[in-house]
Structure 1
Amino acid sequence: MGVIRRVLARSAAVAAALALTPAAAVTTAGPATAQSATAQSAATQESAARASTAQASAAQSAATQASAAQPSAARSAVGSAAKDAAESAAEGAALWRPPLQSRWQYQLEGNPQHAATGGIDVDVCAVPHTGGACVRPTVFDIDLYVDSELAGNNSTVNTAAVKAIHARGAKAICYVDAGSIEDFRPDYRQFLDWHKSHGGSLLGKPFSADFPNERWANINNDRGQRDFLLKMMAARVDKCARAGFDGVEFDVVNAYEEGKKVTGWTVSAATQLAYNRALAKLAHDRGLSVALKNDTGQAAELVSSFDYAVNESCFQWDECAELDVFVKAGKPVFHVEYATAPASFCSRANKLGFNSIKKPADLSLRDKPFKPCR
């Protein structure tokens, strides 16, 4: 079975939308004339890294000056605070944080024509909605594993794609499902065994009628569920880091707003915040930046913990305004619409400063069609 997409939209509404909304025509162009923001992106990242390093040095210098002027107890407190600030600045310099304007590609399903690069078309190029020459993404959001239909197994980490993406000056985000448990993943048995040995307290209802092979995870911690999930997610993120990925996208992190009728669990907003912040820390502790996936209702509370947002269908659900907190913080929004035509959302997305693309209404995430808004 190939890598399977899941969408956090309400499944019944999605089905209705797909029935009523025809798939928009998508225009692609060959790679003959490409405009790439890679050099600009790299320069921006270098500048940010230098600035963060300078901040760390300034913090250390301030600690030294304050230490000379303060009594011993005060010196200790000031020195400790400055050390924390310096360490925070140094961490910021080490993480990849994409520029606000960063064109992206979302491909979770492999193409056998690109087997040498893990099924990912790293040279994809298309004319944007705004017209002109074909353009290439500088950020690729791909699955941790090679599509099983290409690899012949479900456990081949996609280092080939990551290396090819880096060779073209782009960055790679590692897709990890953190809120539903998929039965085609290589570590699925561990989740199932834990569920059975803890009174059936981990695996909830099927994610949706479209995706019955994954079940909502219980992120409460009354029996240690959240602790176990975070342990498993840490192991997955370790693989992302070893494979050379630059960031992580944790999917299905909005169980609290779906409710028990959908998920099988009663999850509070506070519990969701705790889980999502713990996931962000997992990524940062391993030197990876991290995306907030959907969960627009908590965007304002989580923007300080995440480095960018990945959103599906915010125009369809009229939720895009809630992502403005990321743009105002200088953090990019990587956005995709499925059932909405580019003519209906691209102009608005560009005005909001989003990095938006159109993918097919059937929710597939192959290399093509690829239609960026700008």
Structure 2
Amino acid sequence: MSRLTRRLLVTAAATALAVTVPLLNRNSADAAVTLPPAHAKFDYQIGGAYTPPAGVQVVTRDRTAAPAAGLYNICYVNAFQVQPGEQNQWASDLLLRDAEGNLVIDEDWGEPLLDLRTADKRNRIAAKVDGWIDGCAAKGYQAIEPDNYDSYTRSKKLLTATQAEAYLTLLAAHAHSKSLAVGQKNTVELAGHRQAVGLDFAVAEECGQYDECADYVDAFGNNVIVIEYTDSGRRKACSQYGGTLSIVQRDVDVSVPGDSGYVRKTC
């Protein structure tokens, strides 16, 4: 689940808008990825897959779900933290612990943080997540959204931004080798390093609410997907960027139609 702070084939319309870009500073100079079309109608479905609303061109779904046929699909991967109930799937030493040996937990979502402090651990963690990325590619996704880039800010100062960037650079290189674009999830303070890390577009939660959209635009141009969780945040984002960015408002639980809390609004 994403933290609140912060296939198949592309349809004709999406194809017209989508941008294919060469990868810079990569081992395979002739490789390329296709970015999500800018200012496209978007739906965020990480809480459960459902038939996209009419007109939607871009969808994000969890890596365990199938892509939406005929759309541009982004594969959500919790890359920096452990999903609830999946702790036993990880080697114990890859879970971040404090000086007393206690797991460091993202209290908002009950997710243990992964330990990125050494190159060996980053490589071992990346090897597992790369398998998930391979799964996204095999299903027909065109991009990945590695979540919790900012987990270092919740690490009791045990992790650093530099370690987070080094780890995400590994994931980005692997994703690019599978012709998948890579989205930077939140973490606006590191947006200026996007090219060095290998990030192609941004997925920004609540940048309208917290006046951060301009910073993402400075780094990524119009290749920014905005997700707001409040009416005020959506209105602000739409008033400033409704003509250039993909903007949607969802409920915090990113629930599915028919659920009592389901919300989806656009500009």
TM-score with structure 2 setting the length? 0.83
Give 1:199 deviation, angstroms.
Answer: 10
Aligned mates of 1:85, 1:279 — CA distance in 2:
13
The residue that corresponds to 1:370 in the other structure is 264
- Alpha-carbon spacing, 1:193–1:327, altered in 2? closer, same or farther (3 Å): closer
Which residue in the other structure is 1:9 paired with? 5
Question: 2:206 — aligned with what?
Answer: 313
From the two aligned structures, give the one with the greater helix fraction: 1
- Change in Cα spacing, 1:200 to 1:243, as seen in structure 2 (3 Å) is farther
Is the radius of gyration larger for structure 1 or structure 2?
Answer: 1
- Give the structure 2 partner of residue 355 of structure 1: 246
- C-alpha separation in 2, matches of 1:343 and 1:190: 41
Residue 139 in structure 1 maps to residue 64 in structure 2? no
The unaligned stretches of length 5 or more in structure 2 are 258-262
Structure 2: how far apart are the matches of 1:241 and 1:183?
24
Q: Which residue of 2 aligns with 1:216?
A: 113
The separation in 1 between residues aligned to 2:115 and 2:27, in whole angstroms, is: 37
- 2:84 aligned residue: 183
Q: Could you say if the C-alpha distance between residues 279 and 293 of structure 1 is closer, same or farther in structure 2, counting changes exceeding 3 Å?
A: same
Identity of aligned residues (%): 23
Q: Does 1:334 align with 2:241?
A: no
- CA distance in 1 between partners of 2:193 and 2:207 (Å): 18
| CA–CA separation in structure 2 for the residues paired with 1:345 and 1:85 | 34
Structure 2 CA distance, aligned partners of 1:144 and 1:86?
26
Give the structure-1-normalised TM-score. 0.61
Deviation sequence 1:296-317 (CA, Å, 0-9, x none): 1111111462121101111222
Is the 8 Å Cα contact of residues 102 and 332 (structure 1) preserved in structure 2?
Answer: no
Q: What is the Cα deviation at residue 176 of structure 1?
A: 0.4
Say whether the 8 Å CA contact 2:225–2:247 is kept in structure 1: yes
The size of the alignment, in residue pairs, is 255
Aligned to 2:145, what secondary structure does the other structure show? strand
Which segments of 5 or more consecutive residues in structure 1 lack a partner in the other structure? Answer: 11-36, 53-83, 111-119, 126-135, 146-157
Task: Give the distance between the partners of 2:101 and 2:44, measured in 1 at CA.
Answer: 29
Distance 2:101 2:133 in 1: 20
Greater per-residue strand proportion: 2
Give the C-alpha shift of residue 248 in structure 1: 0.5
**Offset, 1:189:** 2.1
- What secondary structure sits across from 2:51 in the alignment? coil
* 8 Å CA contact retained: 1:326, 1:332: no
Paired residue for 1:322? 215
Q: CA deviation at 1:337?
A: 0.8
CA-to-partner distance for each residue in 1:190-242, whole Å, 9 max, x for gaps? 3144448x99999842212x312x112221116x3212211111111111111
SS in 2 for 1:140: strand
Aligned with residue 51 of structure 2, among 108, 117, 122: 122
Q: CA RMSD for the aligned pairs? A: 3.1
